[in-house]
Amino acid sequence: MENQSITELAKSLRAKHVSSVELAQIYLQRIKQHPELNCYISVTEEFALQQALAADVMLAKGEGSLLTGIPIAHKDIFCTEGVKTSCGSKMLDNFIAPYNATVVEKLNRAGAVMLGKLNMDEFAMGSSNETSYYGPVKNPWALAAVPGGSSGGSAAAVSARLAVCATGTDTGGSIRQPASHCGITGLKPTYGRVSRYGMIAYASSLDQGGPMTRSAEDAAVLLQAMAGYDDKDSTSVDQPVPDYSAGLNQSLQGVSIGLPKEFFGEGLDAGVAATLQAAVAEYQKLGATVKEVSIPNLKLAIPAYYVIAPAECSANLSRFDGVRFGYRCQNPEDLLDLYTRSRGEAFGKEVKRRILMGTYALSAGYYDAYYIKAQKIRRLISDDFKQALAEVDVLMGPVAPTTAFAAGEMIDDPIAMYLSDIYTIAVNLAGLPAMSVPAGFSGGKPVGLQIIGNYFAEQQLLNIAHQYQQITDWHQHIPKGFE
């Protein structure tokens, strides 16, 4: 049962082969059996069974959606009413959200069953899920390796069948990179496609929520429920949401694929490169054409991102001051002591580093030299993508330079950690949609193929991924010990 897709489970539920309550119990039991992954911060067993019972009532009436009764879990960055929302931080270890994020509310209305909240890098700052206050998440394919970050808990849970699907967020690759490292499908939608209301902000102009699933078909179902305009979110785009599932059977005959030459140069692991070349060859068999294109300013993406994102994070995280909610230090001497000790004691090393970087970049005398210049580079990168996507339908390349690296390997080398996002960050700067699709293995670890599309081309991306998954079975592989 735990290996069925969302569509298959929906059919099983409607045919009464299993009830929503029984399905929830299967997954709750699996979560208890695999604490070694550390992918859940909170397991909401009682709430899940209540939702499952309500789902069974809906299904008995012939009502509900494809997601009714489907066990799902949320990255612990989405506010969930009455349930702890920690962002993987000591700062919010005691924060019980008083309302639901729009994404959570939409999925609740669709009848999904929330199993719990998933571990993540603290305030979504990290590429390895090692910065969480609750300890690192393990990769189900290799427990000594990282699952990727910041949505590592989401990727590990879906990969190990501890949830049918999960929500994630992507600021610089935080859906795609862990999806690649854990062998699942992850989609970062166009900026503004999914509401950010109730999704605790890291970098407001970059953050975007999206689905993390086993297949493109499942991603289409989950995105259908998540996407859409929200008047509570000023960055939400008022544009109709297509029927993503209905667009999954389009021929790829004549579809043009661009391979950015900057994606396949120095620094890309040979095993990863060979796996991706084999995937591109499969697309050619499906009738797609391939040509080389260029993103000439790609090399500037990381320095630009690590000015813009920390600048926005320093502003967004200023609200966590020990006064209104979250952690408060003991016996402060005065207001300044309350601020400094509360923040000093509750924020982790990486969060402090980024706050300091951002505050410096925004300070008088440096704003023009750093922040404004980074925004100009951002426009150059966006223009590069615009030009490349005028030549081809989609771009393809690696998600990360290597497969999942060993836990502890980069935690003390932030520059090396930042460089691991070289192929994903530029997409966020441009606001484009992109996804990671399982494309094979190198050294026994999963490799993801990144597919990048034009604005609001999620339907096209999902179809392209789905067609590949019809002729390959990489997305169906299960980590040993989690069958």
> Which sequence positions are flagged as catalytic?
75, 150, 174
How far lies 367's CA from each of 275, 341, 443, in Å? 43, 27, 45
What does each C-alpha distance from 11 to 16, 18, 94, 109 come to in angstroms?
Answer: 8, 10, 40, 19
For residue 32, how many other CB atoms are within 10 A of its CB?
12
Contact residues for 80 (Cβ-Cβ < 8 A; gap 6+):
74, 97, 100, 101, 104, 114, 117
Q: Are 178 and 147 in contact (CB under 8 A)?
A: yes
Question: Chain centroid to CA 68: how far?
Answer: 22
Q: What whole-number distance in Å separates Cα of residue 345 and Cα of residue 328?
A: 9
Q: Under a CB-based contact definition with an 8 Å cutoff, are residues 145 and 407 in contact?
A: yes
Give the DSSP letter string of 147-165. Answer: --SSSHHHHHHHHTTSSSE
Q: Looking at the DSSP assignment, which residues form a beta bridge with residue 43?
A: 116
Written as six digits, the tokens of 297 are: 């300013």
Q: What are the tokens at 236?
A: 């939400």
Helix axis angle for 216-226 and 458-471, nearest 10°, is 160
Q: Which residue has the tokens 């900057």?
A: 262
How many Å apart are CA 80 and CA 406, to the nearest integer?
33
Cα 165 to Cα 218: distance, rounded to the nearest angstrom: 8
Specify whether the CB–CB gap between 125 and 110 falls below 8 A: no
Alpha helices in 125-215 (DSSP H): 152-159, 176-182
For 96, which DSSP code?
A: B
DSSP 198: T
Between the CA atoms of 277, 380, 193 and 237, what dihedral angle is there, to the nearest 10 degrees?
Answer: -160
Residues near 174 by beta carbon (within 8 Å), at least 6 away in sequence = 121, 124, 127, 149, 150, 151, 168
Task: Name the residue among 322, 133, 88, 93 with its Cα closest to residue 330.
Answer: 322
